[in-house]
Each structure stands twice: as structure tokens, then as C-alpha cells.
Structure 1
Amino acid sequence: MKNKINLIHQNKFQIKTTHADWWDYSSNGLYFITICTKYMQPSFGILNLEEVVLNRVGKVVKTNWEKIPHYFPFATLGPFIVMPNHLHGIILIEKSIEIQENKPAKFGPQSNNLASIIRGFKSSVTIEARKIDFEFAWQARFHDRIIRDENELENIIQYIYDNPIKG
């Protein structure tokens, strides 16, 4: 019976990852990140004349994003924007050679990688935000893009800066 259930449910409830299966997300690199609120609720503020006006929860998001390098010293933040219902940002992961050589297997413990950074960030924001708005929630996942060259980086930076204008 158990085998039949496994066959019936095999891959039915598994959500395919959006991450590149050919990339080790603990590797040095530049990443463009988008994190959204659940149901795209405007939990972080409003757009007013092409400018984002953050509310208390939005300020928590901004402050906690800025704290990422404190908790993950191998991470450096690039430009970012907190919009009413999402955040766009660039994270540079840059580890020393010693850390890279001693890192666990790709499918081992999930620490010191991009997912652990985002998980820690979302968790810290959720704890603080629910003190202000107990219904606050994130979308379950986040979107990332591995930035491969200078031209792509420049385009993404411009996209981040232009985001409030585009609404």
C-alpha cells in the first residue's frame, strides 16, 4: 500500500526549484534577488509620485537587509530597493580561499550560502514585522539571478533604481 501511495503522489506535490541546478550557491558570485510578500500585499509602504514611502514594516525590511553583512561577513550588499510589496537587491558572496576549500558538500548543511542568507533575513523580518502587523507573511520562495558580467550588472542596477518609476 505504501508503495502505491508513493507512486500516486510521486512528483505531484513537489514544486520545481527556480534555482540553477548547475550552480553552487555558496560559491563566490553576484546575485540579483527578488523577495515578495505573500499574495503581493503592499506591506512595506506606498508609492507616492514615483517615490517609495516606507511604513514601519518597510523600515524593518530596509534595516534588516542592511544588517546582512553583520551576520554573514562574506556577503556584501549592492544597490537595493524596498518596494511596497517586494524587495530587489544585489548580494556579493566573496569568501576567502580557506572557507571555500573547507566548505561542506553541495547537498550538505545549508549554511553560508545564498539560501541561508535569505532565510535568515526573512525570518528576522517576520519576527519583527508581526509585532507591528501580525498578518505579515512572505511569499514562500525568492527569485535569484546569477549576474554573469559587467553589462548585466549595470542593467540590473539601473532596473533597481528605476523600479519606483515603473511602479
Structure 2
Amino acid sequence: MKNKFKSKSLRLRYWNYQNSAVYFVTICTKNKVHYFGEIVQEKIHYSPIGSICYVLWNEMQHRNKHIILGDFVIMPNHIHAILILLSDNIENNNHLGTNRFQNIGKNSLSSIIGGYKSSVSRYAHKLNFEFQWQSNFYEHIVRNEYSLEKISQYILENPTKWSKKYNNDL
């Protein structure tokens, strides 16, 4: 039973997540609990934890020169965002991602999202709010302008689709 509790990485093995790229990221709450607020008439109404998420997401760009934030939306139980990672790394692409730990370093996508999740959790717990993240996050490497436009549209329309699917309040 070696590595019994080791979760399989969701990251592409041959991609270096420290290099410049555009990512579509989804971060979920544990068990899809609605910690962040509710959708009413196609708009998110933040809970205190949702407000913390919003503020800390926007602060990321000011704290890290390697990040540009694109469109994002905080939904009741998840966040969708476009994050542009800028890197000073100029590497030989012949051995990208062959080392599993290569994608964990400073200014990697994983370290940035991990830092964000940790900050939100810390603030929520300081204020005595019950809160937990899902242990991982999902990402999609945006490879062209068309894909970026479709993803941006999906992000911006997410509250409306949620409202139609779950609330029937239209």
C-alpha cells in the first residue's frame, strides 16, 4: 500500500507551471458547500467569506508582479478566474515538467493558488467562520484568443446560468 494517501496530480506532466501562460482556474469549496453567498436575480450576493474571497483575489495582483488578473466570478461554492502568469523564467523546454516538484516552486500556478486559498482560510478562521476548500483546484491552459473569449464569456455568464438552473427567479 505504498503511496496509499497520495492524490494524483491534476497538472500536465510536461508543462512548466512557472512559465508565462494564461490559465482558466476553478477553485471549489469542500463538499460544494455554499460558503460564498447566493445568486439572486442573476447576481452574487456575497457572504462575509465571499467578500473576503473577492478582496483577497483582487489584492493578489498588487502583491505579486508575476500575476495579471483577468475575468473572474465568485459563485456560491466555487470561483472561476482567468489568471495570467508572467515569468522571468527562460528555460530549455526539453525537460519541462519531468520533475513533479518543478511545478510547486515560487510563482508557480500551484503556489499562487495555494497562497490565495491559505489567505482566505486564515481570515475566515480568524473571524470564526466555518470554512473549507476542496483540496485541489482545476486549471486549463488557454491556448488561443478564441478560447480566451469563450472562457471569459462563460465566466461572466455563470451567475445567469446558475440563476436559471437553481433559482428559477427570472
Match of 2:116 among 116, 121, 130: 121
- Amino acid corresponding to residue 63 of structure 1 in structure 2: V
CA distance in 1, matches of 2:35, 2:128: 9
User: What is the CA–CA distance in structure 2 between the aligned matches of 1:152 and 1:68, rounded to whole Å?
Assistant: 24
Q: Which residue of 1 aligns with 2:21?
A: 29
Q: Give the match's secondary structure for 1:100.
A: coil
Work out whether 1:88 is the aligned partner of 2:55. Answer: no
Q: SS of 1:81's equivalent?
A: strand
Distance 2:78 2:128 in 1: 16
Alignment of 1:51-130 (within 5 A): 51-95=43-87, 99-101=88-90, 107-108=101-102, 110-130=105-125
User: TM-score when scaled to structure 2?
Assistant: 0.84
Alignment counterpart, residue 146 of structure 1, candidates 136, 141, 145: 141
Q: CA RMSD in A?
A: 1.7
| 8 Å contact kept, 1:57–1:132 | no
1:156 alignment counterpart: 151
1:71 Cα deviation from its structure 2 partner: 2.2
Q: CA deviation at 1:55?
A: 1.4
Q: What is the distance in 2 between the residues matched to 1:121 and 1:44?
A: 15
Q: TM-score, normalised by structure 1?
A: 0.86
Per-residue deviation, 1:131: 2.9
Gap runs ≥5 in structure 2:
92-96, 163-170
- Write the deviation string for residues 27-75 of structure 1: whole angstroms up to 9, x where unpaired: 1000000001111110010110111111111010000000111222111
Deviation at 1:11, TM superposition (A): 4.5
Structure 2 distance, partners of 1:133, 1:156, is 35
Partner of 2:38: 46
Give the fraction of aligned pairs with identical amino acids, expressed as a percent. Answer: 38
Pick closer, same or farther for the CA change 1:84–1:64 going to 2, 3 Å.
Answer: same
* 2-structure distance, mates of 1:134, 1:161: 28
Please give the alpha-carbon distance, in whole angstroms, between the structure 2 residues aligned to 1:121 and 1:12: 28
Shift of 1:133: 4.3
